[in-house]
Structure 1
Amino acid sequence: MILELKKTEFHKCKDLLYAQGQLEPKAVVEGVNPGRIFVDDIVSPASGLIWLGNNDGFFFIGNERNEVFNSELNLFIDTLIIPEARKVGLTCFEGIGNHNKWDETILKVFENRNLGSWNQRVYTLQKNDYIGNCELTIQEDYNIVKISETLFENSDKSIKNIKFLHSKILEVWSSPERFFSKGIGYSVIYKNKIVSICFSGFVVDNFHCIDIETLEEYQGKKLAQKGALTFVEDCLRNNFIPYWDCMESNKPSIAVAEKLGFRKVFNYIGYEFMFE
């Protein structure tokens, strides 16, 4: 039977994590970012499934050849995961292996579903690799502002769409206080409106996973690039390592990362199927 761990028990999964794997499952297991963990054995888990707190996918961790766990996955997803996922507006299951040996297992376990896939790239930036001569200029009426508690609280009501910032931070972090104690971020503001943000989505040790979003009507103005550049420079000043995870098909995102000096450290495959 697949059972859910209490948050106080997440530490039992530390040994199941692949050291060179993605940042997100590590952040959940270490209790930095919110999420849920389901395992084959409460006392001594060998395999598990992590549901990210921002509902942005599931990570398979541990032993990919655990037949007892694998044989129960489809029923578990149908009876527990899908009903709960529908409640938060999800229409599909997105699953990722914490190491590439899970790929074969995922294909086998879900062979009777209409399984699709996509490719991801992960980049990191070391201080010595940073290309600091790519200063970007944006129009004068756009201002880069650090995401501070004062900005977040917006007591003077100066930011008209503060809910945009609130929703992005609280999508990934359990509270504003948690974000301000662990992460950093920057907003691009135009006429009392936040139009682009770049912030630490997940954090493990000194690695900061970059989360960027620009309002659709303001895209194409290099605002995200400027926000990312400012974020990266802040990271490097504080000896943080920026971590950039993007779809292989997202050529503009890859171009920005490589222009700044990010180096690809690994690829992985994501899988998805629609709920019936």
Structure 2
Amino acid sequence: MISELKKYEFHKCKDLLYEQGHLEAKAIVHGVNTGRIFVDDTDSPTSGLIWLGNNDGFFFIGNERNEAFNSKLNYFIDTVIIPEARKVGLTWFEGIGNHSKWDETIKKVFENRNLGSWNQRVYTLQRKDYKVNLELTTEVEYNIVKISETLFKNSDKSIKNIDFLRSKILEFWSSPKRFLNDGIGYCVVYENMIVNVCFSSFVVDNVHCIDIETLEEHQGKKLAQKVALTFVENCLADNLVLYWDCMESNKPSIAVAEKIGLRNVFNYKGYDFKFK
């Protein structure tokens, strides 16, 4: 039987995490970011499934050869995950193994589901490795602003599209306060509109995962590079480690990561199938 853990029980899964694995999974287990965890045994779990709180996928953790868990996954997904996923508008299941041994298990378990796959890259950067010194200029109308409580509240209503910032932060964090306590971020403001955000999406200890988005009509102006560089330099000044996870097919994102000096540390596969 696969059962859901209470948030105060998430610590039981710490030993199931692969040390060199994904920051997103660690952030949920450590209780920093929002998410849900389903396991084979709520008292002493050996395998589990993490549902990221931003609905951006599922991570398989622990023992990939646990037949008691694996044999129940399809039924569990059909009867529990899919009905709840549809309530939040999801039409696809996206699964990732916390370590590469899960790949074969995922392919075997879901062999009858028209399984697709894609490749991801993970980059990191530590202060001792930072050598890039870029001078990026943007049009004077674009201003980089640190994300603060004052900006988030927008009491003077100076930002016309403040919901863009708020919705991005709350995709990953349980509250603005939790983000402001544990994360950092910057945004680009143009004519009283936030047109780019760059912030800590997942955090574990001193490692910060970067999420960055530029509104379509302002893309192509190197805003992502500029704000990411600001984010990186401020993080490194505080001895934080940067973590950047992006699809291999996302060439612009990879270009930004490599341009500002992040180093590719590991790659992995993600798998997906459409809900019936």
In structure 1, what is the Cα distance between the partners aligned to 2:257 and 2:131? 10
In structure 1, what is the Cα distance between the partners aligned to 2:238 and 2:189? 24
The Cα offsets for residues 99-139 of structure 1, whole Å up to 9 and x where unpaired, read as 00000000000000010000001010121322332121100
The Cα offsets for residues 25-64 of structure 1, whole Å up to 9 and x where unpaired, read as 1000000000000000010000000000000000000000
Alignment match, 2:199: 199
Q: CA offset at residue 193 of structure 1? A: 0.2
In structure 2, what is the Cα distance between the partners aligned to 1:238 and 1:88? 37
* TM-score normalised by the chain length of structure 2: 0.99
1:236-255 aligned at under 5 Å gives the runs: 236-255=236-255
Alignment match, 1:184: 184
The Cα offsets for residues 230-250 of structure 1, whole Å up to 9 and x where unpaired, read as 000110011101101011111
Other structure's SS at 1:202 match: strand
Alignment match, 1:18: 18
Is the 1:120–1:270 Cα contact (8 Å) retained in structure 2? yes
Q: CA offset at residue 67 of structure 1? A: 0.2
In structure 2, what is the Cα distance between the partners aligned to 1:273 and 1:104? 16
RMSD of equivalent CA atoms: 0.7
Alignment match, 2:5: 5
Matched, 1:44 2:57: no
Q: CA offset at residue 152 of structure 1? A: 0.2
Is the 2:126–2:239 Cα contact (8 Å) retained in structure 1? no
Alignment match, 2:123: 123
1:230-241 aligned at under 5 Å gives the runs: 230-241=230-241
* TM-score normalised by the chain length of structure 1: 0.99
In structure 1, what is the Cα distance between the partners aligned to 2:207 and 2:19? 13
Is the 2:225–2:260 Cα contact (8 Å) retained in structure 1? no
1:98-247 aligned at under 5 Å gives the runs: 98-247=98-247
Is the 2:34–2:173 Cα contact (8 Å) retained in structure 1? yes
Is the 1:200–1:208 Cα contact (8 Å) retained in structure 2? yes
Alignment match, 1:83: 83
Is the 1:131–1:259 Cα contact (8 Å) retained in structure 2? no
Structure 1 segments (4+ residues) deviating >3 Å: none
In structure 1, what is the Cα distance between the partners aligned to 2:214 and 2:259? 19
Q: Any gaps of 5 or more consecutive residues in structure 2?
A: none
What amino acid sits opposite 1:261 in the alignment?
G
